[in-house]
Amino acid sequence: MAEVLTDLDSLAVAVLEVDENVKDYLDVAVILEVIGVTRETAKRYGYKDIFNLAEAVFKAIRHYQLRGETAGTRKKTRIDSIIEALRLFAGGMTLGFPWVIILLVYIIFKVSWLPISETPLVSTSVNLALVASIISTSWISPLFMRKLFYFMYQKMYSAVRKILVAYFISGFFITLLIAILLVMFTNTLGIYPDWWITYFTIFFIALSLLWLTTAPLYALRLHIPLILTYLCSLLIIGISYTVMRSIPQKFMAHIYGTIGGSAIVIIYLTVYLYLRSRFKPESYGDVKIRLPFTLYLGMPYSIVNLLYFIFIFTDRFLVWYRGSPYLFLVDFLYE
């Protein structure tokens, strides 16, 4: 297996970068599995399985901790505890009440990220596109992000670029294929008008590309660039609103903002990986990416992610279902 770290010390550093407060070898074993170390990797190091390897790595970690070379051994001050409490509170509010964040953004920028319409039929095209885009892309990124995460911790940036190229190309063609199938399905139903199908398709493709491009930022924990991406997207929407006049043009302003956000992410990732590879301390040479093995590792996470998003959107499908005259129609009271 070509993609392994050079020694136990490198593995210990990789584990500490994930969690500096590991307590025993079982914690280490979990992290090793997360970053892509398998039973075959452990055997290459001369150990029976990943747990034996984790015990050896934990001894190296204890060496760092006893020497005080990790932040995990430092006792938290009162200020650190307060900051941590505020961070957890803000995170809980964001996860528990996402509409609060959306409302604050709307108040500050005077622009909503998705178009607001008083017509249920128009809103249905946008909302269904949003839900469909999240569900259809939710299973794609886990197939690649696990291996991407693994190579990043090894500082194999050429391998990371290869994974990203394969991910973006696959995601783009899968999105186009799903869009074509959805258009064929809605045309077969013969329920929605042509303009509705056009709006739905455009928003579906634009939103799907945004989720695909921002997924690596989530995986690499690049939260500041992620926030800036959405802010730039809102800025593009705001500028488009001031320039455009007619209602259809203003409706397309959100498409421009979404596509602009995707372009910003791609540019950022390109520059980020170039700079990291330009100044990386060591070179591991060219790494051959085994795509079937990469997909195999990510398959369980892909299935779970897909089922998760189907589950959380099931209530909307049930509430929006009408049967006639339209199969689905947004319920403003429920929203």
For residue range 60-79, what is the model confidence (pLDDT) as tens digits? 888 777 766 554 445 567 78
Please name which of 125, 214, 218, 135 lies closest in space to residue 174, comparing C-alpha atoms.
135
Q: What's the average model confidence in pLDDT over 19-26?
A: 80
| Domain of 191, in residue numbers | 111-320
3-state secondary structure of 297: helix
Residue 252 lies in a domain: yes
Give pLDDT, residue 135.
93
**pLDDT tens-digit profile of 167-179?**
999 999 999 999 9
For residue 127, tell me if it sits in a domain: yes
Spatial separation of the C-alpha atoms in residues 226 and 213, rounded to whole Å = 10
Residue 104 in domain: no
Same domain flag for 135 and 269: yes
pLDDT at 177: 96
Can you tell me the mean pLDDT for 113-141? 84
Q: Are residues 289 and 165 in the same domain?
A: yes
In 10 A of CB 308, how many CB atoms?
13
110 sits in the region (left: phi over 0; alpha: psi -120 to 50; else beta) called: left
Residues 34, 137 within the same domain: no
Q: Which residues in 177-211 are b (16+ Cβ under 10 Å) and which e?
A: ebbeebeeebeeeebbeeebbebbbbbbbbbbbbb
Indicate if 164 and 228 belong to the same structural domain.
Answer: yes
- C-alpha pair distances (Å), 98 with each of 90, 93, 134: 11, 7, 16
H or E element that contains 267: helix 247-278
Q: Do 234 and 181 share a structural domain?
A: yes
Total structural domains in the chain?
2
